[in-house]
Amino acid sequence: MLISLFFLPAMAWLYDYARTGAAWGLSILLFFIGTYLLVSLIGGIGLLNGREYGRLFSLYQAGASLLLFPLGTAAGIFGLIYLNRQDTRMYFKIL
């Protein structure tokens, strides 16, 4: 939502074709950000409840975070290592 507040006023001076392309690009960007937010939310709720799907969603999120260099890469590596440890796997299997 904040992204649209910054980019929509800047799109006003563009020509018709450029404005259409910018609107489509912004829509696609907001879709991916919303999807990432939804996966994060579902994974966090699952982790708090100790569910296996929470661990899996968090693994997917950690894998996607690897693309966000440099902080996302570090957080993604840490998440992948922690969520693949044997004691963490057993915790989510027991509950």
pLDDT tens for 18-27 read: 677 777 888 8
Residue for token digits 């100790």?
Answer: 50
Q: Domain range for residue 24?
A: 2-94
Residue for token digits 């509950």?
Answer: 95
Enumerate residues 6+ apart whose C-beta is below 8 A from 66. 72, 73, 76, 77
Counting the structural domains of the chain, the total is: 1
Give the pLDDT confidence score for residue 24 in this predicted structure. Answer: 83
Instruction: Using the predicted structure, report yes or no on whether residue 75 has a pLDDT greater than 90.
Output: yes
- pTM value surpassing 0.75: no
Instruction: Using the predicted structure, report yes or no on whether residue 5 has a pLDDT greater than 70.
Output: no
b/e per residue, 12-34, with b = 16+ CB within 10 A? eeeeeeeeeeeeeeeeeeeeeee
Instruction: Using the predicted structure, report yes or no on whether residue 1 has a pLDDT greater than 60.
Output: no
